[in-house]
A and B are shown apart, each in its own frame.
Chain A
Amino acid sequence: MLAEKDKSALIIEDPTVEQTKLRRRAIVGQIILGALLIVFWELFSRIGWLDSYYWSSPSTIVRTGWTAIVHGNLLQDLAYTSGSTIIGFILGTAAGYLLGLTFWWSDLYSRIFEPYLIAFNAVPKLALAPVLVIMFGIGFDSKVVLAFLMTIIVAAIAAYSGVENVDKDLEKMLVSLGAKRHHVFMKVVVPTTIPWIVSILKINISLALAGTIVGEFISSRQGIGRMILYAGQVLDIDLVWVGVVVLSILSIVMYLGTVWLEHVLMKGRTPKS
């Protein structure tokens, strides 16, 4: 009786249910994997399979970190490093984007500048760090400048690639509707290049962080980079690990920030394939 009823029942498949199930299971799996890594790290350093002098251990890192927060300046250092990274990232990416967009306005100008853009991209900016620290001092400014230099060219090249991809027929269509160059720029060029600049945000935020940390390594009074350098010099390897863990967390948070930014900028359109 019941079986017959089942046969006549309408079967409606709902793919979203399957998707949600999969997503939930994946999250649980991710948490378990992370927990296992930490547990084994702790276990192996306790039983001596990992040399705890070099590898420290999660519990020691947490304890050292707590001390650094309470008795040291870990939080101020964190604010210092993240501040110069984010400011450098924003300034560099925005300036690079604008620079790349200017290449749309004149073919002659873009042809003259293009090789220099590529050449400057090839310069290892980090190698300039000692000069920059001398130029801009050992304070906040030199770190911002380094983060800025790390990001500007990447953004400029991305925007330039976007500019080169502007559909000529779209330009033609707008001109036939009476558009002047500034109309074409605002209504076609800028929207066309947005996916290109969005696609390098994640790269640029990590480049900015690398620039800042190198700046702090060279010379600084504050920052996570300086803390790591100092800890290394006094052979306090547990504190080095604290720095690395804090930087990793910072990096992940900023990465999530760019994902959110991407989402805002790409509202209502499909990402560049």
Chain B
Amino acid sequence: MSELKIVNCSKYYKKNGEPMCALEKADMHVESGRFISIIGPSGCGKSTLFNIVAGLIRPSQGTVLLDGNDITRESGHVGYMLQKDLLLPWRSILDNVIIGLEIRGVPKKEARKRALPMLRHYGLGGFEYDHPDALSGGMRQRAGLIRTLLYDKDVILLDEPFGALDAQTRMQMQNWLLKIWQDFKKTILFVTHDIDEAIYLSDEIYVFTHRPGKIKARIDVDLPRPRNAKTLMNDRFLELKRELLLMLREERIPE
């Protein structure tokens, strides 16, 4: 059980003396176990929103509630993963993924014991004792996500985790992520640029406008699960894609 509510969150910065709005009155209600995507042009305040939910920055206005508790400006309540894998280069993969447990005070030995079967089950068997620079981009993202999963929070924020991967690896990783999501029943908030990716993965999609970042629309993705390659050819998929494309076209920066 974990219900995330983002209530009326705004963020203003001062730039050259002028107040600038990075995020305007974001209101989101995320039910437990849902897969939510956030899509929008760059500079639409997606990352600002994530930093607020993760408690890394303070909103100028508004609150974040997790199961009714105010978690505004409190870090450590949700898992957060960025586009960069941010693995520590001096640690092995195994020691990288247990870092959240270490911080929580779990002894290293015990943490390793817990992490090993998970690494093996989710496609990193054989790489446990390698250092990150020996792994491909996709593998590193897997390790990053397993680190977030081991931290064991019900809500996970993923900020364009597959943005830097090639198309083939990306497809693989999307299916891998869906499998993990089904196994762990987490609530996922997923930022992406990629319309196909958003539709393929999500239950709901929020579309953001360009500066100031604001929620423009909420779209329900009523495609059946489990999803697979056939989903991409589904008429409903293409319909949703057309709808989203048109919406995002309006948000294109005028040239």
Residue ranges of A at the interface with B (Cβ–Cβ < 8 Å)? 167, 169-170, 172-179, 183, 187-188, 191, 194, 268-270
Contact = CB atoms under 8 A, between A and B. Distances in A.
A183 B101 CA distance: 12
B86 A170 contact: yes
B75 A268 contact: no
Given A169-B82, A170-B88, A269-B131, A175 B56 contact: yes
Interface in B44-93: 54-56, 75-76, 78-80, 82, 84, 86, 88-90
A179 B104 CA distance: 8
B103 A191 contact: no
B151 interface: yes
Contacts of B54: 176
A194 B90 CA distance: 11
Nearest to B76: A178
B152 to A, nearest CB: 11
Contacts of A175: 56, 75-76
Contact of B86 (A173, A178, A268, A270): A173
Given A169-B82, A169-B84, A173-B86, A178 B56 contact: no
A90 B44 CA distance: 53
Interface string B92-108: 00000001101110000
Contacts of A269: 89-90, 131
A37 B243 CA distance: 82
A178 B100 contact: yes
Given A176-B75, A176-B80, A177-B103, 6 more contacts: A170-B86, A173-B80, A173-B86, A176-B55, A177-B99, A191-B90
Contacts of B100: 177-178
A167 B86 CA distance: 9
A179 B86 CA distance: 15
B133 interface: yes
B84 A268 contact: no
A183 B103 contact: yes
Contacts of B151: 177-178
- Main SS class of interface, A: helix
Contacts of A191: 88, 90
A187 B88 contact: yes
Contacts of B84: 169
B82 A178 contact: no
Contact of B99 (A167, A187, A270): A187
29 contacts: A167-B86, A169-B86, A170-B86, A170-B88, A172-B56, A172-B82, A174-B99, A174-B103, A175-B75, A175-B76, A176-B55, A176-B76, A176-B78, A176-B79, A177-B80, A177-B99, A177-B100, A177-B103, A177-B147, A178-B100, A178-B104, A183-B103, A187-B88, A191-B88, A268-B90, A268-B131, A269-B89, A270-B89, A270-B133
Contacts of A177: 76, 79-80, 99-100, 103, 147, 151
A187 B96 CA distance: 11
Nearest to B150: A177
A178 B103 contact: yes
A138 B186 CA distance: 71
A270 B90 CA distance: 9
Contacts of A170: 86, 88
The 7 A-B residue pairs whose C-beta atoms are closest, nearest first, are A178-B76, A176-B80, A177-B100, A173-B86, A269-B90, A179-B103, A191-B90
Contacts of A270: 89, 133
Contacts of A167: 86
Given A191-B88, A270-B133, A176 B99 contact: no
Nearest to B89: A269
Contacts of A268: 90, 131
B57 to A, nearest CB: 10
Contacts of B99: 174, 177, 187
A36 to B, nearest CB: 43
Nearest to A180: B103
B15 to A, nearest CB: 20
Contacts of A179: 103
A177 B156 CA distance: 11
A172 B56 CA distance: 8
A162 to B, nearest CB: 13
A188 B91 CA distance: 11
Nearest to B78: A176
Contact of B75 (A169, A178, A187): A178
A173 B99 CA distance: 10
Contact of A188 (B76, B88, B133): B88
Contacts of B103: 174, 177-179, 183, 187
